[in-house]
Amino acid sequence: MMFELGMETIYLLVPLSCLAGALVAGLLGWKIGRVGAHTVAILGVAVAFGLSAFVVLPDVLAGNRFNGAVYTWGVSGGIPMEIGFLIDPLTVLMMVVVTFVSLMVHVYTIGYMRDDPGYQRFFSYIALFTFAMLMLVMSNNFLQLFFGWEAVGLVSYLLIGFWYTRETAIFANLKAFIVNRVGDFGFLLGIAAIYYHFGSLDYAAVFAIAPQHVATTVQIFPGVNWMLMTVICILLFIGAMGKSAQVPLHVWLPDSMEGPTPISALIHAATMVTAGIFMVARMSPLYELSETALSVVLVIGAITALFMGFLGIVQNDIKRVIAYSTLSQLGYMTVALGASAYAAGIFHLMTHAFFKALLFLAAGSVIIAMHHEQDLRKMGGLKKYMPFTFITAWVGTLALAGIPPFAGFFSKDAIIEAVHHSKLPGAGFAYVAVLAGVFVTALYSFRLMFLAFYGKPRMDEHTRKHLHESPAVVVIPLILLAIPSVVAGWIYIKPMLFGNFFGDAIKVLPQHNVLAQIRFDGIGPFIAHGLQSAPFILAVLGFGLAWLLYLREPHLPDMIRDRMQPIYNLLVRKYGFDEFNQKVFAGGARRLGGFLWRVGDERIIDGLAVNGTARAIGWLSSVVRHVQSGYIYHYAFAMIIGLFLLMTFFLHR
């Protein structure tokens, strides 16, 4: 009993240590100064990581689980409002990944934001961001899940618009906020449907009841029956489409680059965008009951993986290239979820968190050296000046491109194999999309490396003379992230994909178990098979084409662009999604606001309620004031008339 109590306290300490750091840095930052602010924030996240990795993880691996409420703060309409934790292998994996990446970002921020006047405020925000993500992944009920879901959205708004004097930053955080509200509306409807039909918001209770509703239908439109589980799963997935940036709710993610580079790394690697992937994996007992919903997830993920990758080829901003790679890799994770290879999706989430954080922080290191220049066309030859950044960037790029034995190879190859074995509708299209995506990923990844680090320096003379490696506080996180970007794949592929690491945290029906059809005879044979497979060949072809276009024949890209101008313009315009967003979501929100202002505020509240009341009182006063004439005979006449009316009333009742 004491052990359980102790573990509950530790579970609470993991998120609360981050919250404490955020509050102290935010509220007392003016008092404790810069050093004090980053010390408390880093200490809070370090405590969270230490407890997650060295206390909770070994406890879970030993077979211990926890599912229960730690605090009930109210009951409304029969719904218990609880803070509850579900600690299982899926949860603890997310806890370790989130806290480790966040810790690296916190340390890196000391160097990147050292001259920024909002230093303390930034540390407060990123620690709060980590707290919100931890509350999301540790929840055991939909209410707390929604709290964490909205909390990460709120803090991302603050972080994307951190430099609030920039018009582009204001535009970007509003865009992220509005687009995510679209997805969150579907998510909330899904949660409402769960409570309405299942009578509970507790995960375990919902998962236990769900099989009883496989055949249940609902009528959204009169005369049209929909399968209840399909409706619920698609509504929940709409929420995931917003958070995890799936087509067409992806438009906010590239613009999130307006925030400082450390938050770009945190959003794209371990928090916010991974929330949707985690949620679908957590809801695997529900998704397994609807093949229609799985097919929707599969196809949407495939579209995102391929077509968002194309956009990375035409980007010249170093951070935006990496941002579009995030969109594409999130598509791969979503494809895995749709194919019921939930473990492969989470495995790729983990490996991607390491190498994507590495790539963003390496890009930030380049930006520091370039005096905050982000245009790849103005870089070149940086390998001579920034050896540590160069080497670690290569590690991240090779992992992203799926080159063995780097971490990304194992997770990406497993996803492609899983989709190949899937029999769901849309699996054929998804397989072609993820295969083609390998070539596209390699092309834009190596393009970035060649333009930034190779060739002749293209920056101005002043910048070139002052080029040097970033300080140790920036380089050390790069090295620490490079290590798992290399080894995480071949260490964890067996227990996570072909072992029993996740146990009952993820549920897969036998007919959907595509991972069981993948042959795994050990790391060596898996790598050997990968070296002979289509994904590796496509990755090598992508590397070769990037080398030809951007090193050997650098004049060719301009020639190709001129001859394929319509396609190039389509990619630059991002398929028109931004225009659609501006006209429908953003424009619709503005028009709705304008309508409510003109009709609701001006006409009803001001016109009818406030001014109308004043006019009515004024009219009544103008009538009543004639009664107060000041003449005695008027008052006497009124008394006589009143007396006459009273006598008439009582005599003729």
Contact 120, 30 (CB under 8 A): yes
Report the alpha-carbon distance of residue 401 to residue 404 in Å, rounded: 9
* Locus of tokens 């709710």: 249
- With both helix axes pointing from N to C terminus, report the angle between 407-421 and 427-453 in degrees, rounded to the nearest 10: 160
Band of residue 585 on the pLDDT scale cut at 50, 70, 90: low
Question: What is the pLDDT at residue 1?
Answer: 37
Band of residue 653 on the pLDDT scale cut at 50, 70, 90: low
Give tens-digit pLDDT for 325-359.
Answer: 999 999 999 999 999 999 999 999 999 999 999 99
Band of residue 2 on the pLDDT scale cut at 50, 70, 90: very low
Q: Which residues contact 131 (CB under 8 A, 6 or more apart)?
A: 15, 16, 18, 19, 22, 151
Encoded tokens for 219: 């009528």
Question: What is the pLDDT at residue 604?
Answer: 83
Report the alpha-carbon distance of residue 342 to residue 336 in Å, rounded: 6
Contact 323, 329 (CB under 8 A): no
Question: What is the pLDDT at residue 233?
Answer: 95
Say how many residues make up the chain. Answer: 653
List the single range of 213-227, 245-259, 265-279, 427-441 with lowest mean pLDDT: 213-227
Encoded tokens for 183: 């997805």
Q: How far is CA 224 from the centre of its chain?
A: 34
Q: Indicate the helix (H) or strand (E) that contains 450.
A: helix 427-453
Report the alpha-carbon distance of residue 613 to residue 635 in Å, rounded: 30
CA-wise closest residue to 338 among 274, 273, 427: 427
Type of residue found at 620: L
Q: How far is CA 567 from CA 310, 314, 366, 526, 562, in A?
A: 11, 11, 30, 38, 10
More confident residue, 647 or 280: 280
Band of residue 540 on the pLDDT scale cut at 50, 70, 90: very high
- pTM beyond 0.85: the answer is yes
Report the alpha-carbon distance of residue 242 to residue 334 in Å, rounded: 13
CA-wise closest residue to 216 among 286, 143, 146, 298: 286
SS3 562: helix
- With both helix axes pointing from N to C terminus, report the angle between 472-497 and 407-421 in degrees, rounded to the nearest 10: 30
Question: What is the pLDDT at residue 4?
Answer: 47
The vertex-342 CA angle with 338 and 344, nearest 5°, equals 110
List the single range of 214-218, 402-406, 510-514, 581-585 with lowest mean pLDDT: 581-585
Give yes or no for residue 594 having a pLDDT over 80. Answer: yes
Report the alpha-carbon distance of residue 295 to residue 306 in Å, rounded: 17
Report the alpha-carbon distance of residue 270 to residue 130 in Å, rounded: 9
Beta bridge partners of 85: 68, 139
